[in-house]
Structure 1
Amino acid sequence: MSVRRLLRRTVPQDDLEEVFREFADRYGLEAVRVEFLEADNWLSVPCVVADRWFLKVISETHALLHGLMTTGRNLGALSSGVPGFFEHLETPYEMAVHELEATRRIREIGVAAPEPVEAFEHLGHGVVVLEYLGGFRPLPALDRGTAEVVAPQVFDSLARMHAAGLAHGDLRGENVLVLDGVPYFIDATSVDPRAVEDARAYDLACALGSLAPHVGARAAVDAALAHYDPADLLRARTFLGFVNLRPDLAFDGSAVRGEIEKVAATAE
């Protein structure tokens, strides 16, 4: 049995059924059709309702795991020579509200993201409701040609977030959903606004690490250069070792680092 299926069991079946009944009541539905997703998501039970809504049900166990992961990420940031900048959200409902509001802010600045619908609490579980993007493909599922087209858009969207004072904090392939050639961003995490510059550099390192396996290190760096200066890439280089330790990001860190250093040397 996969770890994700074990985590799903942290929300008892009876509770899940009650959550779906509550959802049906809130939306005036007599019944709902639910499809559980085998997504690479450790912090909720993700599902699709009626092919229209994307729900995440967040339990106390997910909130505890979020705390452990936040601690680990902050230790990783320290290993890169900067104070930790990831913030822990205490309760399942806080996690749901954060994702809803982060998605709303991303859309407000013109970056593609699912339409946020609502967040609510039921039986102690947090529930976030978003638009379901039917037919999407996560970034790792793209063929090379499509990934090469999408890569510049990823950095354009990321630069828009950063220019607006935002940071994603958990940028990885599974959190970039491509629909009709457009990348949509999901699952932004909470970062300390006092350390947003470090968080942006980490975002950039994550974007490079997510794209390099699909388009090559040079192409990933070139796509980033359309929106970031060599100095930004050098700052992102600081986090490449930390990012490369993530089990959900496997890439040739030495190749990406080498391409950044070539760019920096040319710019001097």
Structure 2
Amino acid sequence: MGEYGRAPDVLERAGHAVLNNFFVEAALVFLISVLYISAQGADRLLGTGFRRTLLDWMQAVSRDRLNFLRKAQIRHVFKKKYGMKKIKIRLAGGSYWLSIPCIVKGVCKKTRSERKFLAKVMNERSALKHKYMTLFRNIGVIAEGVDLKFDDYHCGLEMGQYERLCLEKLRNASVNAPKVYGLHKMGGADYMLVMEYIDGKPLSKAEMSGEIMDQLFLILKKMRENGILHGDVKLDNFMLSNGRVYVFDCLKIDRSGIEEAAAFDLACLLCALSGRLPPGEVVKNARKFYSPSDLGRAAGMVDMALYKADLNLSDDRKKELKESLKALTLP
């Protein structure tokens, strides 16, 4: 029995056991790889959007839900642990897939003031989806011949613990990140990470500027200097609030190749920004914070970064980004 009651879900557990089987993993990875390569080939030859459609469909069918039972469990935790009443719950903005991010609003019983929190629900399904994502990323790493390895999680609890640790490290390094209030066990295999609510919007929905780019490159540089890796750099994982950029959502990367991992993070940021702004302008801003050798190392990671399902550049922008980076390393 869990802390707030446990109702075993036979189908969920059976599905989890099947998908964790080595032979099922191999078959699914092979099938999805064939579909992905075929879609990518069709996009290049015919100018279609099959790759994006395939990725969107895969995320849609596997995305977890904020159902009535989960909402009840969230309310219970906030009543008991945070002294809240009149609790309202809604999904947070931006894209989500591995966890269920939601905004919890209510009234503090002691102060009678309104409070907001950001809560993320993670479970075995979250860890399983991350495992498959990691498998595909590591296949891409092997294909590109890069000295980099992504790690997976054993369960939702480990995911929550790792994210809590990363956010605490970020704050200790003077990087803007939400304060973590607690990690709580809910019903079944669900865990909930409760964080400070940052009133703002994801950078994917914000107007981009040189000042914002400067903040992003400086944040990534501070992370590298403090031995912190992100592993999932995309605009949805940064929040803009009162002109300040905040960091969310770190994933696991094997620290044995920390320089390669830092270069991968930088390559992902360059690609994410080049999807919104001219690549030459992006590289010019990056040069304020990174040496030509750092950017040259990131240039070698651009193809690897674009294996990420949530990063997408046209062939023209990809070519311009590579040429802009190459120009920095020419004698």
TM-score (norm 2): 0.74
2:274 corresponds, among 201, 207, 212, to 212
Once the two structures are superposed, residues 111-169 of structure 1 have per-residue CA deviations (whole angstroms, 9 ceiling, x without a partner) of: 111112111222221211111112x12222222xx432200110011000001111111
2:211 corresponds, among 127, 149, 153, to 149
Once the two structures are superposed, residues 10-40 of structure 1 have per-residue CA deviations (whole angstroms, 9 ceiling, x without a partner) of: x653244123312321112234211123531
Q: What is the identity, as a one-letter code, of the residue corresponding to 1:189?
A: L
Aligned equivalent of 1:132: 197
Between the aligned residues of both structures, percent identity stands at: 26
- Tell which structure's C-alpha radius of gyration is larger: 2
Aligned length: 262
Contact 2:148 2:261 in 1 (8 A): no
Q: What is the identity, as a one-letter code, of the residue corresponding to 1:213?
A: G
How many angstroms apart in 2 are the aligned matches of 1:207 and 1:257? 14
Q: Please state whether the residue corresponding to 1:85 is helix, strand or coil.
A: coil
How many angstroms apart in 1 are the aligned matches of 2:79 and 2:140? 42
Aligned positions of 1:1-268 closer than 5 A = 3-4=59-60, 7-9=63-65, 13-50=68-105, 52-123=116-187, 124-134=189-199, 136-143=200-207, 146-251=208-313, 252-265=317-330, 268=331
How many angstroms apart in 2 are the aligned matches of 1:32 and 1:206? 37
Regions of 4+ moved over 6 Å: none
The gaps in structure 1 that reach 5 residues or longer are none
How many angstroms apart in 2 are the aligned matches of 1:168 and 1:131? 19
The gaps in structure 2 that reach 5 residues or longer are 1-55, 106-114
Contact 2:137 2:307 in 1 (8 A): no
Report how far residue 5 of structure 1 moved: 7.9
Contact 1:154 1:183 in 2 (8 A): yes
Contact 1:54 1:131 in 2 (8 A): yes
Once the two structures are superposed, residues 197-241 of structure 1 have per-residue CA deviations (whole angstroms, 9 ceiling, x without a partner) of: 111010000010111122211111111111111111111111111
Q: What is the identity, as a one-letter code, of the residue corresponding to 1:153?
A: Q
Tell me which moved more, 216-225 or 154-163: 216-225
How many angstroms apart in 2 are the aligned matches of 1:93 and 1:16? 19
How many angstroms apart in 2 are the aligned matches of 1:20 and 1:92? 20
How many angstroms apart in 1 are the aligned matches of 2:195 and 2:124? 21
Aligned equivalent of 2:43: none
Tell me which moved more, 28-37 or 207-216: 28-37
